[in-house]
A and B are shown apart, each in its own frame.
Chain A
Amino acid sequence: MKAVITVIGKDMVGILAKVSGTCADANANVLEVNQSVLQEYFAMVMLIDISAMNCSLDKLRENLDKNVDGMQIHVMHEDIFDSMHRI
């Protein structure tokens, strides 16, 4: 089982570190990261493995919101993207 984390907002130091740190605390393995910085805006999409996670997806989102201040963060199960964009 995988989930997708997206982080969008103003670029600053340590975003990737905080997000991946929070994932590590939840025992979620980071599988892929795709990030870009356009002018001062930061956009990142991260694919994580949630099969061995020690907390719920909802809790992970809460922790991310707490740890990574001022960014727009979404945590969604990968099935929603698969079902929408793949036949």
Chain B
Amino acid sequence: MLNMNDILETITMIQEENLDIRTITMGISLLDCADSDIGRSCEKTYDKICSYAEHLVSTGEKIEKKYGIPIVNKRISVTPIALIAGASGGDPVRYALTLDKAAKQTGVNFIGGFSALVHKGFSPGDRRLIASIPQALSETEFVCSSVNVGSTKSGINMDAVALMGNAVLETAECTKNRQCIGAAKLVVFCNAPEDNPFMAGAFHGPGEPDCALNVGVSGPGVVRAALAKMDKGSDLNEVANVIKKTAFKITRMGQLVGTEASEALGVPFGIIDLSLAPTPAVGDSVAHILEEIGLEQCGACGTTAALAMLNDAVKKGGLMASGNVGGLSGAFIPVTEDAGMIAAARSGALTIEKLEAMTAVCSVGLDMIIIPGDTPADTISAMIADEAAIGMINSKTTAVRVIPAIGLKEGEELDFGGLLGKGPVMKVNTKSPSGMIARGGRIPAPVQSLKN
């Protein structure tokens, strides 16, 4: 028989420690929807998404009931729209509106893939898509956008970096009446994964199959609770071991749900993304795990080391629990989505410079950081370049999702509501990087790229 303690442990994890499946994301290829007529192309896109994802939400709900585990989000990711827009010509905003309509029809929480991959240069569709991002995000509700501006293999496209600084600022400006929320749905990547199930950066890469189901698990609360039960004197070897064991259990559940959902939907199971994704809910914070390890507050000296250990232990534990691991896989540090990080940013313990260091050892980048609304576009571009450089040199994914709070100054707050959370405007270095950004061109691929 099942062990009574095991049963109670699982129930406590779900009931009290916020264990959940963060998302099941269906990746759908739109490559066969491209048509030389944009109207026809949008029609095919809408029909394909709605037919493939028709039962996604109801299947997710059935599994929730069967196992008693919440599946917080059901989402869709699609082929980067720049590829389709390149073939059809016309205004890419029409695709954004089509995606939004399809998201409403299927009942999903978000649809990602209003994206362009420009790490080495632009094709015609790419430039038009980037130019249309502010309008697309201000006129839609569910669409998320991402642009990949660099990779270890190809270096950093600094022309794209310059464009994206402007795009972020303009998107915030276009949605300033709605807490600048547009910028929270726009991510600028280096080394973007093609199978990431997490928003806002999800897209279905061109190398992916026609359709695949990717699962993102979550459970910072469970890890924190497991560490809280440990003897305070246990050494870091033991701490890493407990994190590993917990990550294993969380991932096994993701594997179960993913397998079941892909069978029910008749879609191949893609990957599990082994991520610790926080939410603003009390007890669901990555910062609190770092504090449980022994830091007074997240942002203190030692934060980078603790995060590096956490990130590595999560991967080690999760790897054995799943057949296919992919996506971002690691600990997320989105400031406004994490109760502990919000507190640390408010108290001044956590600064953007410290966050930048943390991104070198965890799975994402400068994520959900609110910056002053008068930050120049060049400064945002330079932040993107810094992050892309960390990703490029360390052969890892990095990203920037900053929200310029139009009309607000340091210390004031934005509140997005829901999973996106809230937080204070953080201080940004005011010295200008304009000379460097104006140069444009490409930062050549680093020597790490020559592995052949």
Physical interaction between A and B: yes
Q: Are B4 and A81 in contact (CB under 8 A)?
A: no
Question: Contacting B6 at CB < 8 Å: which of A74, A75, A77, A81?
Answer: A81
Question: Contacting A85 at CB < 8 Å: which of B66, B67, B249?
Answer: B249
Q: Are A83 and B2 in contact (CB under 8 A)?
A: no
Q: Are A4 and B7 in contact (CB under 8 A)?
A: yes
Question: Contacting B10 at CB < 8 Å: which of A47, A56, A84?
Answer: A84
**Chain B residues within CB distance 8 Å of chain A:** 1-4, 6-11, 65-69, 249, 252-253, 255-256
Q: Are B67 and A80 in contact (CB under 8 A)?
A: yes
The closest CB in chain A to the CB of B69 belongs to A80
Question: Contacting B65 at CB < 8 Å: which of A32, A45, A58, A84?
Answer: A58
The closest CB in chain B to the CB of A81 belongs to B2
Q: How far is the CB of B221 from chain A (nearest CB, A)?
A: 16
Question: Contacting A81 at CB < 8 Å: which of B7, B65, B66, B255?
Answer: B7
- Bound: A74/B13 CA distance, A: 13
**With contacts A4-B2, A61-B65, A76-B11 known, what are 12 further pairs, Cβ within 8 A?**
A6-B8, A34-B4, A45-B4, A45-B7, A76-B68, A77-B66, A83-B255, A83-B256, A84-B6, A84-B10, A84-B252, A84-B253
Residues on the A chain within 8 Å of B67, using CB: 76-77, 79-80
Q: Does A40 contact B (CB under 8 A)?
A: no
Residues on the A chain within 8 Å of B69, using CB: 76, 80
Q: How far is the CB of A25 from chain B (nearest CB, A)?
A: 19
Question: Contacting B256 at CB < 8 Å: which of A34, A57, A61, A79?
Answer: A79
Mark each residue of chain A from 1 to 41: 1 if its CB lies under 8 Å from any CB of chain B, else 0. 00010100000000000000000000000001010000000
The 6 closest A-B pairs by CB, nearest first: A76-B68, A85-B6, A83-B256, A80-B67, A58-B65, A83-B252
Q: Does A78 contact B (CB under 8 A)?
A: yes
The closest CB in chain A to the CB of B260 belongs to A79
The closest CB in chain A to the CB of B62 belongs to A58
Residues on the A chain within 8 Å of B8, using CB: 6, 43, 45
Residues on the B chain within 8 Å of A77, using CB: 66-67
A49-81 residues at the B interface, CB under 8 angstroms:
56-58, 61, 74-81
Residues on the A chain within 8 Å of B3, using CB: 85
Residues on the A chain within 8 Å of B252, using CB: 83-84
Residues on the A chain within 8 Å of B253, using CB: 80, 83-84
Q: Are A81 and B68 in contact (CB under 8 A)?
A: no
The residue among A74, A75, A85 with the most chain B CB atoms within 10 A of its own CB is A85
- Bound: A43/B11 CA distance, A: 13
- Bound: A43/B69 CA distance, A: 20
Residues on the B chain within 8 Å of A79, using CB: 67, 256
Q: How far is the CB of B162 from chain A (nearest CB, A)?
A: 48
- Bound: A61/B6 CA distance, A: 21
- Bound: A76/B7 CA distance, A: 10
Residues on the A chain within 8 Å of B10, using CB: 76, 80-81, 84-85
Q: How far is the CB of B258 from chain A (nearest CB, A)?
A: 11
- Bound: A34/B65 CA distance, A: 23
10 A-B contacts (beta carbon < 8 Å) = A4-B7, A34-B1, A61-B65, A76-B10, A79-B67, A80-B10, A80-B68, A80-B69, A83-B253, A83-B255
- Bound: A52/B8 CA distance, A: 26
- Bound: A78/B256 CA distance, A: 12
